[in-house]
Amino acid sequence: MTNPIADVLISETVLVTGTNTTENHPIFANYLKEAVLKHGTKILVIDPRRIDLVDYAELYLQPKPGSDIAWINGLMHIIVKEGWAAQEYIDERCEGFAEFAENLKKFTPEYVSGVTGLNEDELYAAAKLYGQAAPASILYAMGITQHTSGTDNVKSLGNLAMLCGNMGIPGGGVNPLRGQNNVQGACDMGGLPNVYTGYQTVDNEDVRAKFAKAWGLETEALDAVPGLKLTEMFPAAAEGKIKAMYIMGENPLVSDPDLTHIEHCVEALDFFVVQDIFLTETAQKADVVLPGVSFAEKDGTFVNSERIVQRIRKALTIAGEAREDRDIIAQISTRMGYEMNYENAAAIMKEINEVTPSYGGITYDRLENGGLAWPCPDTDHPGTPILHVDKFARGKGLFFAIEHQPPAEECDKEYPFVLTTGRVLAHFHTGTMTRKGVGLNKVHPEIKAEINPEDAARLGVVADDLLTIASRRGSIEVKAMLSDRPAAGVVFVPFHFHEIAVNRLTNAALDPVAKIPEYKVCAVKVEKA
């Protein structure tokens, strides 16, 4: 996020899109409700699902899944035409505006209405609600990114924020809500194929030289070419290019798209190691399973959506021989001839401080007094709650001219429904944690597919009837829940349930840049089972 969560309390308008905030980020949703109820903030929800937050919204638009670029460009077309753009801000702080504005011309309300299914009045009202507000914030999550156009969807939201002068100011910004406790940290720490910690690129020789020195290696020992992304590794395994995999704390055999294909890829591996706290569906396929420990059994840090680094603390020891993950990694490394030896988690953070400019001042001592938002270059620095203040990180904010592109798989006669996937309030990701106890299963005991009552009536389906949902890749049987959350022609199925794994149906088509799969749109047929 460019801005703190609490900033929505001072936003005049908050555009909420592709985030089912009340279920997936409930505490953030508290702030949104408080903003509406106590501070007069107006919420604009634009989402293919009629999420619960709509009850608090000033305006709700329900576009067709996969039409995000069209409606974002459509709003910007109206904002420019009506003279609501922050021209002074654009001239002073941004570049690329002329080409961008030229591209907007064809996104007339009439054209956009045809692509998105939204009517022209709705588009105008939404453009006004965001375009005339100062400041206005944008919140999004995987509903924006999990598309073959995910990168362009995000860039489009960036365009919208810059167009109205909302970047780098309190109450503004473009704010992706991070879906997992430390997905921000895993990225910050270089758990990505193209960057070291703090987004220092692997193809930069100076960076490689710095890390080689810190790690006691020759610069040549470090690979200069970006590696494979997760969604590329599995297909590479099937092609025989990847022979071995080491997976720590992930369950791709439930979470990845087109599972049947992923299973085939994993089977092609010569050697497969999984490190986890449970014998997950992925661990079951491994040659070696290494027992790690949960967040409750170790010291360390997580980074939240706001880029705030916060402590986790060891609270107990679990019986058995499970070991801290850092010990396991260090042991394997040492046995492979590259010695790693750290006394504790704080010693690792010290090394992170040394090699990562944005983490230079984030020490365990300081974290005892609360979290710190990076960039925090030195120990006197207070942290940076808002990014891009006064000037953008790259200098000028760059506008992109972006074309609408349809989803990889569109509905046809045989597969007339759009399937979209996501989470429910009481469960998390592949259910490995939330489905283990009694409590959360009491609240949400079983998987159900949300289907619009209009479709249900047409199919002769009532609540709890079994549906067969099939795509070109697979088929599942799942109970129906009649709900006006999805529009007619759209079904929603959560992905927490391995025994009815919706990812047997999803499409592994990827965004060309981010290589994120199109979980939010694939074509399916729906029948009464």
Interface positions, 323-382, toward another protein (CB under 8 A): 323, 325-326, 328-333, 335-338, 340, 342, 345, 348-349, 351-352, 370-371
Buried b (16+ CB within 10 A) or exposed e, 216-250: eeeeeebeeeeeeebbebbbbbbeeebeebebeeb
Q: Which two tokens stand for residue 373?
A: 């938002």
Determine if the peptide bond prior to 375 is cis (ω within 30°).
Answer: yes
CB 41 within 8 A of CB 57: no
| Residues 431-450 within binding reach of another protein (CB under 8 A) | 432-434, 436-440, 442-443
| 241 phi/psi in degrees, rounded to 5 | -80, -35
- When the beta carbons of 48 and 257 are compared against another protein, the nearer one is 257
- When the beta carbons of 316 and 382 are compared against another protein, the nearer one is 316
Q: How far apart are CB 451 and another protein at their closest, in Å? A: 18
Sheet strand arrangement including 300-303: 300-303, 308-312, 372-373
Q: How far apart are CB 241 and another protein at their closest, in Å? A: 7
Q: How far apart are CB 398 and another protein at their closest, in Å? A: 23
Q: Is 39 in the site for another protein (CB under 8 A)?
A: no
Q: Is 268 in the site for another protein (CB under 8 A)?
A: no
What is the spatial distance between Cα 79 and Cα 163, in angstroms, rounded to a whole number? 8
Neighbours of 1 (CB within 10 A): 24
What is the spatial distance between Cα 529 and Cα 526, in angstroms, rounded to a whole number? 9
Name which position in 135, 469, 517, 523 contacts another protein (CB under 8 A).
Answer: 517
| Residues 78-107 within binding reach of another protein (CB under 8 A) | none
What is the spatial distance between Cα 362 and Cα 346, in angstroms, rounded to a whole number? 11
- When the beta carbons of 76 and 348 are compared against another protein, the nearer one is 348
Q: Is 194 in the site for another protein (CB under 8 A)?
A: yes
Q: How far apart are CB 208 and another protein at their closest, in Å? A: 10
- When the beta carbons of 92 and 354 are compared against another protein, the nearer one is 354
Q: Is 303 in the site for another protein (CB under 8 A)?
A: yes
| Residues 121-150 within binding reach of another protein (CB under 8 A) | 145-146
Number of residues that bind another protein (CB under 8 A): 149
Q: Is 40 in the site for another protein (CB under 8 A)?
A: no
Q: Is 298 in the site for another protein (CB under 8 A)?
A: yes
Q: Is 30 in the site for another protein (CB under 8 A)?
A: yes
Q: How far apart are CB 199 and another protein at their closest, in Å? A: 13
Q: How far apart are CB 487 and another protein at their closest, in Å? A: 22
Q: How far apart are CB 459 and another protein at their closest, in Å? A: 25
What is the spatial distance between Cα 520 and Cα 505, in angstroms, rounded to a whole number? 11
Q: Is 405 in the site for another protein (CB under 8 A)?
A: no
Q: How far apart are CB 403 and another protein at their closest, in Å? A: 22
- When the beta carbons of 96 and 179 are compared against another protein, the nearer one is 179
Q: How far apart are CB 193 and another protein at their closest, in Å? A: 5
What is the spatial distance between Cα 2 and Cα 521, in angstroms, rounded to a whole number? 27
Which residue from 529, 180, 281, 258 is spatially nearest to 419, judged by alpha carbons?
258
Residues 6+ apart with CB under 8 A from 167: 2, 93, 158, 161, 173, 174, 388, 392, 397
Strands (DSSP E) found in 168-307: 174-176, 244-248, 271-276, 288-291, 300-303
Q: How far apart are CB 425 and another protein at their closest, in Å? A: 6
Neighbours of 261 (CB within 10 A): 17
Name which position in 184, 363, 452, 471 contacts another protein (CB under 8 A).
Answer: 184
Q: Which stretch binds another protein (CB under 8 A): 40-48, 128-136, 308-316, 379-387?
A: 308-316
- Number of C-alpha atoms within 13 angstroms, CB side, residue 184? 21
CB 505 within 8 A of CB 476: yes
Q: Is 279 in the site for another protein (CB under 8 A)?
A: yes
| Residues 452-511 within binding reach of another protein (CB under 8 A) | none
| Residues 206-265 within binding reach of another protein (CB under 8 A) | 211, 215, 217, 221-223, 225-231, 233, 236-237, 241-250, 252, 255-256
